[in-house]
Structure 1
Amino acid sequence: MDLRETFDEDAERYDRIRPGYPARMFDDLAAAGVPRGARVLEIGCGTGQATVPLAERGYDIVAVELGARLAAVARRNLAGFDSVRVVTAAFEDWPLPAEPFDVVFCATAFHWVDPAVRVTKSADAVRPGGVLATVATHHIAGGSWTEAFHGEIQRHYEQFDPATPPGLRRVFAQDIPRDDAELTRSGRFGPAIFHRYEWEAAYSTAEYLDLLLTYSGHRALPEPRRTGLLTAIAQLIDDHGGRVVKRYLTELRVARRTG
């Protein structure tokens, strides 16, 4: 199975526990030249974690989602917005309409789109002078992730997941590069502007296991290994008070179409 298809296996869990996005991000998107009423194409909307805030800001949205179950939950979450249409399709295969969009937007999914077409098709989908806005979510050092805590978790991953790089460590936000090379190399977009937001979310042991079960790598593990990993992590969190705090870096990258 394609790893990106694993997200569709449990759409209700994904909708329940996956974190949303900082409100400031949508304010910064508007300030970048995306006014109320703009026509937005969203790639990979999931269950609508970013689509709902976009719709609340008055955008006219076509959201393309690969997973049928995820798309169904997105339609339910967006039922109150007449300005949103959710399409079940892979972006790579979806025929672009004749009228270009003002914005192509993609939250935490652009890396799943075929790199051979994601930038060029996004450029084809947006009008000259329009915007490509992509959002990346990074798991960074901070919160409960002290060196000692992370070392304990890392040992469990190395034991149960053979794909885990040895000695892996969380990095700080300032150590993550701002990367727009793919966009500028295409010749279709100008230099990107980056907006970054650091924030934290707290999870009980059960909530954190719920979250892990929405990650493709965890879902793809063979059952005995996945169960062993989750059991070990649950015990570790319980030993640390039954609560874990994750620190996130959300990055909004905005580039304007030039060619």
Structure 2
Amino acid sequence: MREGHRGSGPGAIAPDGCAVELYARLPAGEEPDLVAGAVPAGASVLELGCGAGRVTHPLLQRGFVVTAVDDSAEMLARVRGARTVCSPIESLELGEVFDVVLLASHLVNTADPELCAALLRSCARHVSAAGCVLVQREPEGLYDRAPFEREFAGGRIRVEDGRVEYVFPDGRWVQEFRRRYLDEAAFERALEEAGLRWEAWLTADRGWARARLR
């Protein structure tokens, strides 16, 4: 288990505290459409931290060629139709580059600055010269309303700073994690230090950015 990360509930728990059974049932959300609108059709995509394929499968359906990376073999066992690689993101060395590198799920907001830097360096070394990196960061004010609850995917979700609880009729899962907010200047500086340059915000809340090699 990663330092500062814990998870509980039925089934296997990944090193970052994510529950495999839970992530296998979560909806894709806006991510597949966002990717499709930001990159060329049919592009090769390296998805870092793919989990159980929540975003992987819709990307495949849209015609992208996906290599899915996760450090949980149990998560990868749920992925269908994509090439899979079991590895920590920060130490990934595939020796090849891709049209698109995708780093979602606020992974860049890890509380460990060195890990954040390593994640972005992995993005930089796997993106082609003409390609792009799509990064999801915590938008400003994400936790301002916390704690809060809402209906979610047939159950309920309760969000606190550093803790998320999912309650479904057949199970309850809790994930605890350490996080660090990056304002726009800090985020762009982290990109630059990893050899990337910010190019554009892809969402109105500035939670998604597109970057390219410097």
Give the TM-score normalised by structure 2: 0.64
SS of residue matched to 1:48? coil
1:255 corresponds in structure 2 to: 211
Q: Is the 8 A contact 2:70 2:85 kept in 1?
A: yes
Structure 1 residue runs of 4 or more that deviate by more than 6 Å after TM superposition: none
Shift of the 250–85 alpha-carbon distance from structure 1 to 2, 3 Å rule, reads farther
The structure where strand makes up a greater share of residues is 2
> Which has the larger displacement, 113-122 or 53-62?
113-122
1:190 corresponds in structure 2 to: 197
Distance 1:14 1:44 in 2: 12
Q: Is the 8 A contact 1:180 1:192 kept in 2?
A: no
Q: How does 1:135-214 map to 2 (within 5 A)?
A: 135-136=136-137, 139-140=142-143, 145=148, 177-178=183-184, 179-186=187-194, 188-196=195-203
Give the aligned residue type for 2:213.
Answer: R
Distance 1:64 1:37 in 2: 19
Shift of the 66–131 alpha-carbon distance from structure 1 to 2, 3 Å rule, reads same
Q: Give 1:50 deviation, angstroms.
A: 1.6
2:54 corresponds in structure 1 to: 49
Q: Is the 8 A contact 1:43 1:110 kept in 2?
A: no
1:104 corresponds in structure 2 to: 101
Between the aligned residues of both structures, percent identity stands at 27
Give the TM-score normalised by structure 1: 0.54
Compare relative contact order (CA 8 Å, sep 6+) and give the higher one, 1 or 2. 1
**How many residues are paired up?**
170
Structure of higher CA gyration radius: 1
CA-based RMSD of the aligned residues comes to 3.5
Q: Which runs of 5+ in 1 are unaligned?
A: 147-152, 158-162, 164-175, 198-248
Q: Give 1:104 deviation, angstroms.
A: 0.8
Distance 2:129 2:66 in 1: 18
What are the superposed Cα offsets for residues 180-236 of structure 1, whole Å, 9 maximum, x if unpaired? 2211233x2222311236xxxxxxxxxxxxxxxxxxxxxxxxxxxxxxxxxxxxxxx
Q: Which runs of 5+ in 2 are unaligned?
A: 8-12, 150-158, 164-175, 177-181
What are the superposed Cα offsets for residues 223-250 of structure 1, whole Å, 9 maximum, x if unpaired? xxxxxxxxxxxxxxxxxxxxxxxxxx78
What are the superposed Cα offsets for residues 9-64 of structure 1, whole Å, 9 maximum, x if unpaired? 73102323x45321xx44443343x2222111111101112212221221111111
1:85 corresponds in structure 2 to: 83
